[in-house]
Structure 1
Amino acid sequence: MDRSTALVPVRYVVVGGRGPEDVVADAHGRVLTGVEDGRILRLDGLADPDTTRVEVLAETGGRPLGLELLPDGALLVCDAERGLLRVDGADTAEGADREVRVLADSVAGERLRFCSNVVALSDGSVYFTVSSRRHPLDHWIGEIVEHSGTGRLVRLAPDGGTPEVLLEGLQFANGLVPSTDESFLVVAETGACRLTRYWLTGPRAGQSEPFAENLPGMPDNLWRDRLGGPIRVALAGPRVPPLDLLHRSPAGVRRTAARVAVRAPYRPTGTIGVLALDDDGTIVQHLTRRHSGFRMVTSVCEADGHLVLGSIWEHGVAVCELPGAK
């Protein structure tokens, strides 16, 4: 799909914290997100700015990124500092006592320091991504520039135990969603502007292959309605041709450039985008907005008949029109 349509903003909702990096919607149309100071927030009533409420569900003590709601009302949290966490009772009322437990804080003998996104399947297994083994979250741009290929896809069995590395060599592994029938997972490789498919069942189980390549921007978090909707892809920024060229340079050149990048001032562009793909990897919708005041879209979900955008850069979320909605 070559043509794009406009991404139309409706309102901006301040959440009282910086960097609502991932947004997920619960069965009641409420949106959950995590912010820089470690709080997990629940946003209720986004459709009406006069009644929107921001509730604090829990504090992780680290930096929450990817979120996944479980059928029992618990919440899985990828914390960039503490690892993979579980917050019990995330669907209960504000002020309830919620336990925060660590499910995994190391992988293959290494401390888990850049846990990025997570999904849980119907059999109870949990899959999560590690964006980089070289650069922590606060040096994420160093990973994008160096192109180290140290991202991972990891599995945690239903009974817990030791995390199992399924895929290595990913370029900034990020968002993660299952196919409708849970026969494969789709992993966003932000640094390579592509989506990768990892087969869970069938004759190709355990193998990976490209799912969608040469995307028009850098894919971040992925989201889909478990009822069978499209895979929505947040594009954190447009493609940068000089960066594509740098990625073909020798490793030493990229490492030097990364050291410079983490010390240089950074400001995201005003171009934002959201893709929608089907289970064949075909782009069925491309929404864009140039010169946007809302920068660096790192997540997207549907809630209350709108698209809700999260951002690791902003102090709130953007509520946009859902294409096709009345």
Structure 2
Amino acid sequence: MDRPTPLVPLRYVPIGGRGPEDVVVDGRGRVLTGVADGRVLRLDGLTDPAGPRIEVLADTGGRPLGLEPLPDGGLLVCDAVRGLLRVGPERGAVQVLATAVAGEGLRFCSNAVALSDGSVYVTVSSRSHPLEHWLADIVEHTGTGRLLRLPPGGGAPEVLLEGLQFANGLAAGAGEAFLVLAETGARRLTRYWLTGPRAGGSEPFAEDLPGMPDNLWRADGGGPIWVALAGPRVPPLELLHRGRPALRRAAGRLAVHASYRPVGATGVLAVDDEGRIVHHLIRRHPRFRMVTSVCVADGVLVLGSLWERGVAVCGAPA
């Protein structure tokens, strides 16, 4: 698909917290998200004229980012402060699953996916910068992102891939034969093979995307992989990425103190299992900025954002 189609906004839903960075759907079609003060929220009835019902599931005591519902009603939470957590289905009990990998603290845990065999895969966006300095990592182009695996039943995580450019969203491919992960800093999706003769290897899945990919989401029943585009392509930034490491490090130090404000268009993609774009929706000069996640619930698109104090509900493509 070469030509984008309009992203049609339907309503903005305040949720009483800032930065619903990831939005996912539980087994009953309700939307789950985490906000900056540490709360994990459940949003029910986003399309109801009277407004949604908002329930607090848990408080992680950190900063929840990527979420992954579990078959037993529990929830995996990637917490940028505390590591990989599990929220139980009863009374929001929070269990710590991993805080370190290979003798190093699990800094900037970003996204997770649980497979049918009980294994859990996790992305780490950066080993150099914490969440509050995410822009510095993008500017510096550190390439310190990782893909991790926790074996079924728990245990210490192992490193599967290193050198990723701000590893972010994660989703399983058809039949769980591979994973797709977003490299925000490289504007690409990467495939990591789980089965077959290429198991343990990685390759580009979709490159030169029209924006910076963030969280990924796929419905339990299949369908395309939805990709949130957190920001547009920035040619001067790409030129800097081709420069010398010392120059990038200096620019990254400046970015730590820079005042960031999202600009440009709001966009989302959907890709099939061959990496082909099947939907590209865009809205220029939007009021809802920095889309970091997208899911489909009750027949509409629900957008999350690291920046906003609510979620956006938009029309879904046919």
TM bracket, shorter-chain basis: over 0.9
The Cα of 1:98 is off from its aligned counterpart by 2.2
**Residue identity in the other structure for 1:48:** D
Q: Which residue of the other structure, out of 149, 152, 156, is the alignment partner of 1:158?
A: 152
- SS of the residue corresponding to residue 155 of structure 2 reads strand
Within 5 Å, which residues of 2 pair with 1:141-152? 141-152=135-146
2:130 aligned residue: 136
2:102 aligned residue: 108
- Distance across 1 between alignment mates of 2:299 and 2:160: 36
2:9 aligned residue: 9
The Cα of 1:270 is off from its aligned counterpart by 3.8
1:302 aligned residue: 296
- Scaled by the length of structure 2, what TM-score is found? 0.99
- Distance across 2 between alignment mates of 1:192 and 1:317: 26
1:55 aligned residue: 55
Q: Which residue of the other structure, out of 276, 281, 284, is the alignment partner of 1:290?
A: 284
1:93 aligned residue: none
2:75 aligned residue: 75
Within 5 Å, which residues of 2 pair with 1:243-282? 243-282=237-276
The Cα of 1:83 is off from its aligned counterpart by 0.2
**Residue identity in the other structure for 1:130:** V
- Distance across 1 between alignment mates of 2:112 and 2:106: 14
Give structure 2 stretches of 5+ with no counterpart: none
Query: Is 2:211 aligned against 1:217?
Result: yes
- SS of the residue corresponding to residue 222 of structure 2 reads coil
1:207 aligned residue: 201
1:20 aligned residue: 20
- Distance across 1 between alignment mates of 2:127 and 2:242: 20
C-alpha distance after superposition, 1:133-170 (max 9, x if no partner): 00000000000000000000000001211101000000
2:121 aligned residue: 127
**Residue identity in the other structure for 1:127:** Y
1:92 aligned residue: none
CA contact (8 A) 1:13 1:49 kept: no
The Cα of 1:27 is off from its aligned counterpart by 2.5
- Distance across 1 between alignment mates of 2:11 and 2:174: 31
2:184 aligned residue: 190
CA contact (8 A) 2:123 2:168 kept: yes
The Cα of 1:28 is off from its aligned counterpart by 2.1
**Residue identity in the other structure for 1:67:** L
CA RMSD of aligned residues (A): 0.7
CA contact (8 A) 1:276 1:286 kept: yes
- Distance across 2 between alignment mates of 1:262 and 1:292: 26
**Residue identity in the other structure for 1:61:** G
- SS of the residue corresponding to residue 118 of structure 1 reads strand
CA contact (8 A) 1:310 1:318 kept: yes
C-alpha distance after superposition, 1:171-193 (max 9, x if no partner): 00000000121000001000000
Q: Runs of 4+ in structure 1 displaced over 4 angstroms?
A: none
Give structure 1 stretches of 5+ with no counterpart: 90-95
Query: Is 2:78 aligned against 1:84?
Result: no
Q: Which residue of the other structure, out of 229, 234, 249, is the alignment partner of 2:228?
A: 234
CA contact (8 A) 1:270 1:294 kept: no
The Cα of 1:26 is off from its aligned counterpart by 1.5
The Cα of 1:226 is off from its aligned counterpart by 1.9
The Cα of 1:70 is off from its aligned counterpart by 0.4
CA contact (8 A) 2:232 2:264 kept: no
- Distance across 2 between alignment mates of 1:5 and 1:201: 36
**Residue identity in the other structure for 1:14:** P
CA contact (8 A) 1:273 1:288 kept: yes
- Distance across 2 between alignment mates of 1:267 and 1:98: 34
